[in-house]
Amino acid sequence: MSTAEVTRTFDVAKVKADFPLLQRELKGGPIHYLDSAASSQKPQVVIDAMTTYYETINANVHRGVYEIAEAATNALEASRVRVGRFIGAPNPETEVIFSKNATESLNLVARSWGGANLGPGDAVLLTQLEHHANIVPWFQLQAEKGFEIRWIPLTADAQLDLTDIDRLLDGVKLLALTAMSNVTGTLTPVRELTEKAHAAGALVCLDACQYVPHLATDVVSLGVDFAAFSGHKMLGPTGIGVLWGREALLDAMPTFLGGGGMILNVTLDGFTPAALPAKFEAGTPPVAEIIGLHAAVDYLDALGMDAVREHEVTITAYALRTLTERFGEALTIHGPAEPAARGGVLSLAMEGIHPHDLAQVLDEHAVCVRPGHHCAKPLMKVLGVGATARASFYVYNDTDDVDALADALGEAADFFSF
Amino acid sequence: MPGLEDLYREIILDHYRSPRNRGELETPPATRTEGFNPLCGDEIVVYLDVDASGTVGDIRIGGTGCSISQSSASMMSAAVKGKTLAEVRALTRAFKGMMSLHESSLDTDGESGEELDADGEPVEDVKLGDLEALRGVVKFPVRIKCATLAWNTLMQGVDEAAEAHPA
């Protein structure tokens, strides 16, 4: 199958050409970057947007009155509105909080909302799919506040097992869940769970880190109360993340990090916090990264998020078919078998070969996959493995990348054949 | 550029396929220590039985890991059996010296020259034997932690055993 046949949504070869790093040769051939679930590559427009900022309007924001400071501030605020529109935020000017990454966004919800609203007798409901970023902050807070943490279990194919959901939600104040697993690619039924959670009197905090880059996102139709994601997984730079939250909730929450920029007034007796969104943005923000994220969102919107999703379903289906045909039962692919039920993330287990060794052999063929527990150790335990080798797809991956993965897996099987 | 054959020597694959001293020992008298590689999720358990004279009477290895961590643990278990705790410490220093970057630069094969420990100090003349096969790991820096996991875990066990059997 040629690349052109794989997707009619956009020309993958043309997309690939937009990414300077993917033009590199590695080990005497093209690089097969299959680790976008960890961090995506960046198109030239994102790199250029950041460079242009530094070369033309670099100045601190929200302070200076001179022309370039004002231009930098305007560029930052334009990005906020643009990013907000990208996820369907009703009030992007106030509801889009810039953070360092999704991890910091989730910590903000835990520390600020959780700190003010959770105590003994309360419960937080998580799922066994969660990344450590949506587990550890709750454990940290639990140690101080003494609430209960519950877990939604999984079915055999790593989907949420909702058999007991009504009992699990009883008395829960917050459901914090991933929209898409970074290990198995499992898409969770966010809308359905949000309705149930709200009916049970709970709020919903969505870890949308693997979702926003890959599927059209509308926080209003998803119904969630908070959503966290990172710029670097959606073609943007590292060091910039987003927390979206309902305005009334954010407004009522106590401040998170303290410092410059987040105050209305400071006296010798105390401080008065600024209004949203500044209230949650202490210190000089990563202006270049925020501007880079704007360019990334523009790039994704130009491709069209429905087309992005269609491309990823197609490439995932091709990968599932190719790998299953070639390796049969010697290769386990964790997670849902149906491409429509998952994102483009394949956690692989090759019989008799540890993921670390597998990834090492793949590296010899310039196939970049990630071995390890993917910051989801509880999920690893449920899957009954210590680690997996994870291949993940994005807009620039084509069937050549999948074929290279399959060939390299074949080499690994030969190399370690017992 | 280092190739896979630098990393996966035949003897390493042999120990990976047929690990020596796998299993558990009764605790006490044996000590049980666990080691984790937080990066890759590998876990190793070292059971160490030290007799009254301060000699390793028996050792068993549990846990899961890649070929490098498992073969290193297997070779380690074979190497330390019957050695005194002082000898085990010296062997560990020598092994970790071999695994330290400044001792064996990435450009040379590191086969000659004075052996330095992890602090850059010369180490006493210790025969590494089969463990020499793991020398190539230094050329793959992210895998060094795989090779040293068992040894760091062993050292915890040795410290515990030393407290129980003061020399």
B67-80 and A355-364 helices cross at what angle (nearest 10)?
Answer: 120
Quick check: A335 pLDDT over 60? Answer: yes
**Which tokens hold the place of A344?**
């483009």
| 3-class secondary structure per residue, chain A | CCHHHHCCCCCHHHHHHCCHHHHCEECCEECEECECCCCCCCCHHHHHHHHHHHHHHCCCCCCCCCHHHHHHHHHHHHHHHHHHHHCCCCCHHHHEEEECCHHHHHHHHHHHHHHHHCCCCCEEEEECCCCHHHCHHHHHHHHHHCCEEEEECECCCCCECCCCHHHHHCCEEEEEEECECCCCCEECCHHHHHHHHHHCCCEEEEECCCCCCCCCCCHHHHCCCEEEEECCCCCCCCCCEEEEECHHHHHHCCCCCCCCCCEEEEECCEEEECCCCHHHCCCCCCHHHHHHHHHHHHHHHHHCHHHHHHHHHHHHHHHHHHHHHHHHHHEEEECCCCHHHECCEEEEEECCECHHHHHHHHHHCCEECEEECCCCHHHHHHHCCCCEEEEECCCCCCHHHHHHHHHHHHHHHHHCCC
Q: Say yes or no for a CB contact (<8 Å) between A380 and B41.
A: yes
CA–CA separation, A169 and A193 (whole Å): 10
pLDDT value for A284: 96
The amino acid present at B64, given as its one-letter code, is T
Residues of A with CB under 8 A from a CB of B: 354-357, 360-361, 364, 371-373, 377, 380, 386-387, 415-416, 418
Over residues A308-316, the mean pLDDT reads: 97
Smallest CA-to-CA distance from B30 within B51, B53, B2 is with B51
Q: Classify B55 as helix, strand or coil.
A: strand
Whole-number percent of chain A with pLDDT over 70: 98
| Mean pLDDT of chain A, nearest integer | 95
Closest-CA distance of chain B to residue A50, Å:
31
**Residue ranges for chain B with pLDDT beneath 50:** 103-113
From chain A, the residues in CB contact with B4 under 8 A are 360-361, 364, 415
When the candidates are 1.10.10.60, 3.40.20.10, 1.10.287.70, 3.40.640.10, the CATH number that belongs to A47-302 is: 3.40.640.10
pLDDT value for A73: 96
- Residue whose entry in the numeric block shows the structure tokens 């994220």: A293
Considering only A97-111, A250-264, A368-382, B130-144, which range has the smallest mean pLDDT? Answer: B130-144
pLDDT value for B110: 42
Query: Which pLDDT band, with edges at 50, 70 and 90, does A64 fall under?
Result: confident
Considering only A242-246, A249-253, A304-308, B125-129, which range has the smallest mean pLDDT? Answer: B125-129
Spell out a b/e string for A38-77, using b for 16 or more CB atoms within 10 Å of the CB, else e: bebbbbebbbebbeebeeebebebbeeeeeebebbbebbb
Q: Say yes or no for a CB contact (<8 Å) between A372 and B40.
A: yes
Quick check: A304 pLDDT over 70? Answer: yes
pLDDT value for A175: 98
Quick check: A363 pLDDT over 60? Answer: yes
β-partners of residue A187 are A180
Q: Classify B84 as helix, strand or coil.
A: strand
Pairing status of strand A241-245 against strand A388-392: unpaired
pLDDT value for B109: 45
- Contacts with A65 (C-beta within 8 Å, 6 or more apart), sequence order: none
**Which tokens hold the place of B38?**
């937080």
Q: Say yes or no for a CB contact (<8 Å) between A356 and B17.
A: no
Query: Which pLDDT band, with edges at 50, 70 and 90, does A258 fall under?
Result: very high
Query: pLDDT, tens digit, for every residue of A26-57?
Result: 999 999 999 999 999 999 999 999 999 999 99
- Burial environment of residue A298 by CB neighbours within 10 A (0 to 12, 13 to 18, 19 or more): middle
CA–CA separation, A404 and A402 (whole Å): 5
On the CB side of A215, CA atoms within 13 Å amount to 21
CATH of domain A3-42+304-415: 3.90.1150.10
pLDDT value for A418: 52
pLDDT value for B105: 47
Number of cross-chain residue pairs from A and B with Cβ atoms under 8 Å apart: 48
On the CB side of B73, CA atoms within 13 Å amount to 35
Closest-CA distance of chain A to residue B140, Å:
9
Q: Say yes or no for a CB contact (<8 Å) between A386 and B43.
A: yes
Any chain A CB within 8 A of the CB of B10?
Answer: no
Any chain A CB within 8 A of the CB of B42?
Answer: yes
Spell out a b/e string for B109-135, using b for 16 or more CB atoms within 10 Å of the CB, else e: ebeeeebbbbeeeebeebebebbebbb
Which among B3, B39, B66 is the nearest to A354, CB-wise?
Answer: B66
CATH 3.40.640.10 occupies which residues in chain A? 47-302
A209 counts as catalytic: no
From chain B, the residues in CB contact with A356 under 8 A are 40, 42, 65-68, 143, 146
Any chain A CB within 8 A of the CB of B147?
Answer: no
Over residues A246-266, the mean pLDDT reads: 96
Pairing status of strand A123-127 against strand A172-178: parallel
Query: pLDDT, tens digit, for every residue of B90-106?
Result: 999 999 998 886 544 44
Question: Does ipTM come in above 0.90?
Answer: no
CATH 3.90.1150.10 occupies which residues in chain A? 3-42+304-415
Start-to-end CA span in chain B (Å)? 47
Q: Higher pLDDT residue, A417 or A365?
A: A365
**Which tokens hold the place of A223?**
């119904």
Which among A364, A377, A415 is the nearest to B41, CB-wise?
Answer: A377
Query: pLDDT, tens digit, for every residue of A369-416?
Result: 999 999 999 999 999 998 999 999 999 999 999 999 999 999 999 988
